[in-house]
Amino acid sequence: MMFIARLAAILLLFFALADRAMAQFRRSEDILRSQSAAEANVRDRVNAGTIGLAGGLLEGAPIRFATEIARAANDASDMHVLPIVTRGPTENVNDLLYLKGVDAAIINSDALEEYKSQVPQIQQRIACILSLFPSELHVFVRPEIRTLADLAGKKVNFNTQGTAAAYSGPLIFSRLGISVEKMFIPHPTALEQLKRGEIDAVVFVTTKPVDAFAKGKWEAGFKFLPVEFGPKFADYYLPSSLESADYPNLIAKDERIATISVPTILATFNFRPDSPRYRRVARFVDELFGHIDRLRSPGFDAKWKDVDLSAPAPGLERFRAAQDWLDRRASTKQSGRP
């Protein structure tokens, strides 16, 4: 009888301990489940407000603009713009189409040309959020070169691969019908070779003024060649000019040298309006457009002062959420509300 009593006591103790362990296990499960749910909510909230923005090469203007966009838009506690260093504005089109995590990208308007054959509906798949700034074409030549036609068969440098000049320059020369000996070396090296007569021209596609021309010392005769805007450039480019105010040591006062510019565009994929990614980019548009005055303040690139939210981008339609924002602003102005 004593053995049975002891056994019963042991069993009672065992079951009591088992119940306590099970209760502790359930409490631990509840805590872990609660923590997991809380973390899931944080993860969903963070991702819902995160935008991957493909910028460009570290040494280029696009990544600088992407970083400043992030500084302005990230003011909102639930918005997180991540600038991404990439291989350049042309490659950014590919990233926007195919790379996971890229919601928006800074591209050059004529980068769409490369994708026309492989993505016939490219201009319907990508939309413009904002036309940022023009990159002017600079064709700078030696004294003995007098016209664009003189460059036929000559050595012309278009900067390193991945830059705007390396893509847009050859495309523009092809449209002009001028075949040159293309070179792709860093522009600082090419400019020294230009001075020594080892090459005949350098082509820059960037915002003016360029320090190498504005501050550099050039002998008489070195000059920019005019490139006239016309129907062959109407699809992706805009008319522009280089003036004495830009390069007083190279262009005479009141002289104007015609050229074209390549618009740089903040673009996004043309997401369906009922998709989560559309809603995410729409929130980004609201934050960016709503903070445009901050971007125009000291501490940001001075070119933001020239950015017009409503300016069109050649070859692309406006992203629907961006157009909706502009329409709301226009309606507010018409109603007289502040």
Domains of the chain listed by start with CATH number: 46-133+264-335 (3.40.190.10), 134-263 (3.40.190.10)
Mean pLDDT of 7-13: 61
Q: Taking all residues of the chain, what is their mean pLDDT, rounded to a whole number?
A: 88
Mean pLDDT of 230-235: 94
φ, ψ for residue 109, nearest 5 deg: -55, -40
Report the Cα 65 to chain-centroid distance in Å.
7
State pTM to two decimals: 0.79
* Residue pLDDT, tens place only, 72-131: 998 656 789 999 999 887 789 999 999 999 999 999 999 898 888 788 888 889 999 999
Omega within 30 of 0 (cis) for the link into 209 = yes
**Beta bridge mates, 134:** 263
Q: What angle do CA 308, 49, 105 make, to 5 degrees?
A: 45
As a whole-number percent, the residues of the chain with pLDDT over 70 amount to: 85
Per-residue confidence (pLDDT) for residue 304, from 0 to 100: 93
Mean pLDDT of 24-40: 64
* The pLDDT of residue 197 is above 80: yes
Mean pLDDT of 24-49: 62
As a whole-number percent, the residues of the chain with pLDDT over 90 amount to: 68
Q: How many residues does the chain have?
A: 338
Q: Of 111, 110, 93, 116, nearest to 235 (Cα)? A: 110
Per-residue confidence (pLDDT) for residue 229, from 0 to 100: 97
* Residue pLDDT, tens place only, 128-166: 999 998 999 999 999 999 999 999 999 999 999 888 899
